[in-house]
Structure 1
Amino acid sequence: MTSPLLDVAGVAISPDHYIGGRRVASAASFALQSPIDQRLLGHVGEASAGEVDAAIRAAQAAFPAWAGLSAAERQPMLNRFADEIGKRADDFCVVESNDAGVLLSRMRHGVVPRAMLNIRWFAEHALTLQDRTITTEQATHHVRHDPAGVVAIITPWNAPLMLATWKIGPALAAGNTVILKAPEWAPLTSSLLADCADAAGLPPGVFNLLQGTGANTGAALVSDPRLARISFTGSVPTAKWIAQAAGANLVPCSLELGGKSPFIVLEDADLDNAAATGALMYRNAGQVCLAGTRFLVHEKIVDRYVDALRGYVGQLKVGDPRDEATEVGPIVHPRQVERVMGFINRAVVGGAQLLWGGKPHPFGAQYVEPTMLANLNQTDEIVQNEVFGPVLTLQTFADDDEAITLANGTDFGLGGVCYGETAHATEVAGQVRTGFIWVNSFGIRDLAAPFGGIKRSGIGREGGDWSFEFFCDVKDVVVPAKPFRASFSHR
């Protein structure tokens, strides 16, 4: 028996899991509140160990037939999946904005088109994996990318639709079957994805959805030895726990974790351009792992740069994310608000200087003012740890060596930004220890390029061939160049 549908801004959403091509209700559930105004959106099922087992069994049963298809045979079905996302674009925009507080403008103009592309691009790119050979004098090596099996995908609350499709696309295109564990603070667009998979005609069990908390549903899922892969995006503490559970079963993990990325402004930077880009770090209330949150500015230009940045920040509209003009929306959950304000308050007590912000925003209970803190030491908590809110820090440097030392002076290494004369900025960027870094730009992404971090920012790379290297078992079929005959020598 299924549960009554939720009504979120006129969009009907199932609160149940999607297992083996049908909706499955749970005995237990948990409440969802909108970060915009704390109104109750409804109750969503929490998967028990039994429902986790059912999802794994459904994915296992579907795997042989799905894996047995060629990439060309899977492609039309995956393209229909993308089509169904496009048909419900408005629903995805409205629901994720209400559920996660994501900017409606970002959903409409960025996230939904990217979600469709994530499915289509990897379905197309999978075709290139079929004919790879390495020829030597001794043999021809036919390199195969075989589907690994049942894949668990666990996504965070800050970008539920985009990050789910970013992982689902290559996993399904490679021939795996998928169990998506939705983020507990923002699960509703994951449920819409299940509707789209069903409408596209994906065979039952190829795509499955579980909803629930990490402590219960997530724990039962990642500790199961029947999984072939686990792909996780989220926090470092959760990643350590997942890796430990998966390690007991030798299940490979891809871990894309947090960041404390530098935003470097060199003495020869275009200050106005760097300031305009700097203000973008507050978008989505700073709940973006890619954001450059540690501003490192040359001491000779810091006053002029701060004035320019202040001007752009002052133009940002804080408000309801459903208003397309809004640029800074709410923080996703009251616990996250408490965490963000805790970082700010402890920094101020410790001697940090508030250049602007630092208080709850009057628009609503889960809003925090765009904040900039200065007068900091490299060892300060707020410099070293990810805040994941609209909070930036400012430090100065005297030369390139000091800038690089400061940039590399945390345990994180996800991304970064470097503004300056192009050759100069490129040279400095090359010495920053990070998975990627933008020169005189921000947010440029290409699905063919690698994405991921170093140090505490993660293990592995996603995108292009790197996604398939993870989601596939790579096999070498060796055919000798001339007849082979075994020989034995006896002493």
Structure 2
Amino acid sequence: MTEHTLTVAGVAVDTRHWIGGERVASTETFPDVSPIDGSVLGEISRGTAMEVAAAVAAAKAAFPAWAATPRAERARILHAVADGVEKRLEELAIVETTDNGALLRSHRRGVMPRVAHNFRFFADWLLKLEHEDFETRGHTNHVSWDPAGPSVLITPWNAPLMLATWKVAPALAAGNTVILKPAEWTPLTASLLADIAAEAGLPAGVLNVVQGYGSEIGDALTSHPDVRRISFTGSVPTARRIAASAAANLTPLSLELGGKSPLLVFADADLDLAADLAVEQYDNAGQVCLAATRFLVEESVAEEFTRRFVEKAGQLTQGDPRDEATDIGPNIHPRQLEKIDGFVQRALASGARAVIGGHRKGAQYYAPTLLTDVAQDSEIVQEEVFGPVLTLQTFATEAEAVRLANDTRFGLAATLATGDPERAERVTAQLVAGTVWTNCFFVRDLQAPFGGSRHSGVGREGGTWSFDFYCDVKNTVTAPNGWRNHG
């Protein structure tokens, strides 16, 4: 291991920033800790306003040439990045697992292939991005998508590379240049992505990676007058600070924030399916913004549903995420574990009952938990825990189910289990959510819009919606027979 390189499971990772096509070290560092065992993986360059200024300047300088690059060439380079991801898939998987604690088997089979797909999808979508010309009183209207400029992308720790490339890929495809700020708890795969992009032929300055604490460099990133777009995935309080910082320059924002999503189980549902969907909410140790953490179950089947859920949850294995047999790994950080346990202990003190779990399992793990006897206005029902903690409430009527489902400040997603298609149509039409799943969960397509309502976010990502955000959408109107004869 050299001064600026750490090794994770035999994979060398550069700990410096990537700015203007070069590695740049900071004078100070911060430790990167593995949630698996609490070990320090290495010291990471700790960015300051100086590195931010250099990255934005590099992105600004690279923007005109990248924006002018033909669509087909931009798409070719993005496909080359995808090739590089696939070539290094195993390395990316083990580094990500070590850095954020999610299951290695998931990274190998689903997450890292999805990273490559993110680049391929937006490369291909770019080539077919168009709006049919239309006429207004004989005048021709032509819609085009012009690259907006340098874009700041601030990404979370729960699915670091997948969620980063969900932003990086469309921003680059749109012709923008990027300053990527990965979460300080999980910076490693962003560094590897910089290497892969450079090897794929992405010009210097088009992608820049600045590491560090959001509290120290966030404002420098989001208030910079040369930044033309800001995309953030994370918490509501941080989003408020970003919005306030961006306001001075009226920089457009895309915000994908928290959730407190419901799982509605009606008496006519397939209860085995409903219990399977419920157990899925423990995925990634509950660190999924889309998770349906509030079970709303019709009274007449609540006891049977709970029995089946507890039986299935009891079959889960919690432990080292590198083990193929593990179903639930660690939570990301002792600070997050403390937060999770605080929610649970306050709920128990207020009269909630732990059907399962309700306690820590060592320094890095929290037992899968289901709480019942919880009030609708209680903290545990209203606030996002972001851990393996679920609640169960009952309802008597369809109207009550909808009321309870919508009774939070969030509106990211909802899941519905019912055997009645007419009920499904009625209920989904009334749910406040950006995504609704009926008798399924986490089926995702990049063609579909993704985002939240209320405090769950601003804007939509996916397909043309991503290009609408990362571009200045222009309409050109041409008069009929208005050309002079130059012949």
- Normalising to structure 1: TM-score of the pair? 0.97
- Once the two structures are superposed, what CA deviation does each residue of 1:358-401 show, in whole Å capped at 9, x if it has no partner? 0112xx41100000000011100000000000000000000100
Aligned-partner Cα distance in 2 for 1:131–1:416? 32
| Cα displacement (A) at 1:407 | 0.1
RMSD: 1.2
What SS does the corresponding residue of 1:216 show, helix, strand or coil? helix
Structure 2: gaps of 5 or more residues: none
Counterpart mapping for 1:267-282 below 5 A: 267-282=267-282
| Cα displacement (A) at 1:484 | 9.1
Counterpart mapping for 1:40-439 below 5 A: 40-130=40-130, 132-361=132-361, 364-423=362-421, 424-439=423-438
Counterpart of 2:437, as a letter, is W
Aligned-partner Cα distance in 2 for 1:427–1:197? 47
CA contact (8 A) 1:267 1:420 kept: yes
CA contact (8 A) 1:254 1:459 kept: yes
User: How many aligned residue pairs are there?
Assistant: 482
Aligned-partner Cα distance in 2 for 1:103–1:429? 32
| Cα displacement (A) at 1:56 | 0.5
**Does residue 1:440 correspond to 2:444, yes or no?**
no
CA contact (8 A) 2:334 2:364 kept: yes
CA contact (8 A) 1:155 1:233 kept: yes
- Once the two structures are superposed, what CA deviation does each residue of 1:190-222 show, in whole Å capped at 9, x if it has no partner? 111111111111000001100000011222111
Aligned-partner Cα distance in 1 for 2:145–2:480? 22
What SS does the corresponding residue of 1:468 show, helix, strand or coil? helix
What SS does the corresponding residue of 2:384 show, helix, strand or coil? coil
| Cα displacement (A) at 1:3 | 4.2
Aligned-partner Cα distance in 2 for 1:212–1:321? 26
What SS does the corresponding residue of 2:300 show, helix, strand or coil? coil
- Once the two structures are superposed, what CA deviation does each residue of 1:277-306 show, in whole Å capped at 9, x if it has no partner? 110101110000111000000000000000
CA contact (8 A) 1:137 1:481 kept: no
| Cα displacement (A) at 1:32 | 1.1
Structure 1: gaps of 5 or more residues: 486-491
Aligned-partner Cα distance in 2 for 1:79–1:131? 24
Aligned-partner Cα distance in 1 for 2:452–2:179? 24
Q: Which residue of 1 aligns with 2:480?
A: 481
Q: Which residue of 1 aligns with 2:458?
A: 459
Aligned-partner Cα distance in 1 for 2:419–2:434? 22
What SS does the corresponding residue of 1:125 show, helix, strand or coil? helix
Q: 1:391 and 1:5, CA in 2 relative to 1: closer, same or farther beyond 3 A? A: same
What SS does the corresponding residue of 1:413 show, helix, strand or coil? coil
CA contact (8 A) 2:97 2:322 kept: yes
- Normalising to structure 2: TM-score of the pair? 0.97
Counterpart of 2:340, as a letter, is V
Aligned-partner Cα distance in 2 for 1:281–1:50? 41
CA contact (8 A) 2:4 2:16 kept: no
| Cα displacement (A) at 1:101 | 0.4
